[in-house]
Each structure stands twice: as C-alpha cells, then as structure tokens.
Amino acid sequence: MSGDVYHGKVVNMHGGQGNTGMINYGSDPVGSTPPDPALEQAVRELVALLTDLRACVAPATAQHIDASLPAITADPAVPPEERHSALLTVAGIAATAGALGQPVLDAARALIELIAA
C-alpha cells in the first residue's frame, strides 16, 4: 500500500453460492519471490505422509487433517499464523497416533523449524 492507493489484488463478490477460488489473469505483484525449494520439498513430504496417516485415523480426525491441508503450503501468500496453526494441528494429531504418526510429527517439526529460520 502506498498512501491511499492499494496496488494488490482485489476480489469483489456480489451474491452467489459456493464462491471459491479466484482467477488471476495478471502476473504476481512486483517483488514477490518464489518459494524456497527446501520448503517446497518439506511441504511435499509432509503432505504425502499426511495422506498416508489420514487413511488410518478416525473420520473426524481425517476432517481436521483435510481442514489443515490448504494452509500447509510453500506459498508465501498464506499467512504465517495460519500455516503455523495448521502445522501444530497436524503435529498434535500425529502425536496422538503414536508410532504410526511419528514420521508426520518429525516432518511437521522440521517444517516448523524451516519456516522459523
């Protein structure tokens, strides 16, 4: 934002149902940087492990995993608080899953440390 002028993306919605997503015909804002390759790899690993864990937990727990997945991304547009909260959620689920969840817990911890660095 520069003064009273906003130079970012704007979405206006007028009614409707099930409005999800946004079509972006322009380029990313000037100064945006691509995600770190190490971060992208850590995210891919965690998502793969979560997919495996999801198949082994109760449906209610699987819903919490599903709700957390959109925030577990290397996209810098995701607010850090939202990403951190999602990582803590899946780490908690993994911790309660015992040995089955240990790889997920380790991957979530590594991703939290990578983001904090």
Q: Is residue 15 part of a domain?
A: no
Q: Is residue 10 part of a domain?
A: no
Q: Is residue 26 part of a domain?
A: no
Residue with the two structure tokens 């934002």: 1
Identify the sign of the CA torsion 26, 79, 111, 30. positive
- The whole-angstrom separation of Cα 79 and Cα 81 is 5
Q: Is residue 9 part of a domain?
A: no
Q: Is residue 2 part of a domain?
A: no
- The whole-angstrom separation of Cα 53 and Cα 66 is 11
Q: Is residue 41 part of a domain?
A: yes
**Domain coverage including residue 72:** 37-116
Residue with the two structure tokens 């965690």: 46
Instruction: Quote the number of domains for the chain.
Output: 1
Q: Is residue 82 part of a domain?
A: yes
Tens of pLDDT, residue by residue over 20-52, are 777 766 665 655 666 788 889 999 999 999 999
Tens of pLDDT, residue by residue over 52-72, are 999 999 999 999 999 999 999
pTM for the whole thing?
0.69
Identify whether the C-beta of residue 46 lies closer than 8 Å to the C-beta of residue 104.
Answer: yes
Q: Is residue 53 part of a domain?
A: yes
Residue with the two structure tokens 């983001």: 115
Backbone angles phi, psi at 83, to 5 degrees: -65, -45
